[in-house]
Structure 1
């Protein structure tokens, strides 16, 4: 069961169109000229002047230049964006502690402590805007809300959302707001629009169970955001200190390309150490010590658990900002020690083998390993109680014979599977077992309801079955009943439950036949229900 807590109160400072601003600063292009950043020949960011001329994100280069012939074209360079954003993050850090770089152009800080110190959230936002406008000299907007997603959208609108009102703030916003940079939700948003869900409020109104069954884990995470909740359930804790990865360099690193090369090996070792404990990092601390003893550090908050490549990328971006900073802010020597700290992790479990065994002697195929990593990834996103496997136990019916075990726990049966179970349903078991059985009616050739007597005999041969209020379907074959007696030792103990297997003809001539497992319960309405369906 998913545990829900109120999201943390967050303050987000956003520099609009940062990739374009950073590219313009690096190239010395005036801010009043229309400009856009392109990746794979498509617009990934554009300035306000370019948008006024009709340029939009995702547009092809030819179309963008046809709408705005004077458009200044820049190439996408995350390292440049991170390097030029470091002075902005440092300026924020002069006022508040706990600065987290979500991505270049966006920083987040917990709001409660700083707001209490400076006299309120409004006063804190004003101080931050003045600080960034004066020191690095860039424009920014500040928003405050419950949770990072709501605070980010509040920053886009320079809004201070009251505590507990994030859901109401998000409700009227368009569904396209889910498509934040790096989220890769374009296909999901297109599907939601085709389903008629135009606003975040309309999406949030859907039941969570229906969203998960129809849209999967990605849809569930987006649904949580639309509801004003955190993207992941709060299964987070501080990791043990031994998971920190440290590397010393001799000679010290003073070039970004050398640092990027070394970061790949360190990131792989760091990620492997977390995976061995069933953990995934969601907030990465990058700390360095230079040859002259200078201490450098920055925290990166991640929208999703980091892969080894994602860790290496953030280390490279951070070295870009450290080693290529301007005079007076650049370290006076190369980096002698680099330390990666998992400042926040999402719990999972170690890789569970044996679900899809291949070969002899218990060997495991690459497909099984990939499936296991996918299970751990889901747990990293949704928590340890999000993925289960089944263990066969003792019991009479198919539902009571299955025990769900969280992925990674020992799949050990309780040991009573071989015990005698009078009335146990013979093999095969139904492929689908309903959590809530469907109501049904069973009638004989005369149209009378079929019942079961005290002598465990049916009052008539089943001829027709109607399921869940649908039309009656002809019974082609049947087997049973398999009665289960309750309180047989007590005076008056009688048959309480019985199961019946039936094969039904298709409702239409072109529909296939189907096999059902029916359950009869004494003194219940309805008498019959559908417990499962056979393939």
Structure 2
């Protein structure tokens, strides 16, 4: 193994909290906790002051801090939010390795010789990140990534050659091997220095490669050298239009050339685009941006078509008030999602799916004229009632349910589901044998036998059969979002339809669904 080199680590304290709070537009001065699998994975300094710690269950954390703001863990969000920080570091020191969102490192020798010293580098990194992103970071310098990360937590620079002495008094838990640390504590070894003093060959023989790697860290050595990331490649393509174009055919000609350039750039990296961002701007500064999704890879013709459709919808398809007031001066294409290009796969008998493609082109054309939300398809997800289980997504967008289908869903209506859900639930009158209104008690019993039901302003119809009620007490822990309802299925005499789903909420019955 190579001896560790001088490394600078840039650490953003409580980064999951910072990213989540920024995304939710919440002040970092509040007590905040980020949860994953109902346990705290990160918390703010204010929350820690009230006793909240990583690993606590939700209820334990809320019992310690009733004002605690709870946010969901999202590693993808953390990584996206950390990218501007890494870009700011790369302005001063190329060759940055991202350890995890919130922590990155780089070799400090070159920047230190350029800026004067390691201290100067650390100060410049802190100032640059604050200026570019507003994030507060700490910088530490030591031999190796592991020691530099710990030095960053202390906001200090370890002098050359003193990394083992810096690590020695630290608690052994910093090596992040819970089982190994637990065993060492039972053997009376509590510090990094005490662990580092053990013979390396004995540690390898007893604990295997993972224990040997932890032992190297404790001795101030690194299991592997620093691996710098490659800066992201700009795959976008743009073209200036001079003079500005206010005709679709003019823009379409430019779009074809731009689409060829864009596709060629992706192909040179062995990639193809499945989700495309098309941006256009006018001479007066008006801008339009839209994302197009495709189940397969977008060819040159596909890209050119979408540019033409989008600009056609912008220049001619909108109302006069929404049309741009000047000609288009710039068109830009950027991939939002790419895949490795493996070529097109035909059907078993050479079928190219021409009918599906024609339908897709027609629907995409409508989107180009009226916007992405003009063509939507339903996606069934989890939930307790028919209305909340269905989510409408734009044509060719990711068909992901808003809630998972998997149980448990206490209070879920029994099958079958109603075929029709009215967009506006009309009021319903449910009467008993003596003409008195029928309600539901707190113990989920009907106050009377339903005999007559009036749908909206229509005449009353006799109840042939009924089932229920099924109570649903949703979000009882939130006074603002709490909702209590009771469901009942009824079959009425007379003309079709005859089977209905009724919902009682706040003392009023409503029509919630119609069965075929």
What is the TM-score with the length of structure 2 in the denominator? 0.46
Higher RCO, 1 or 2 (CA under 8 Å, sep at least 6)? 1
What is the TM-score with the length of structure 1 in the denominator? 0.45
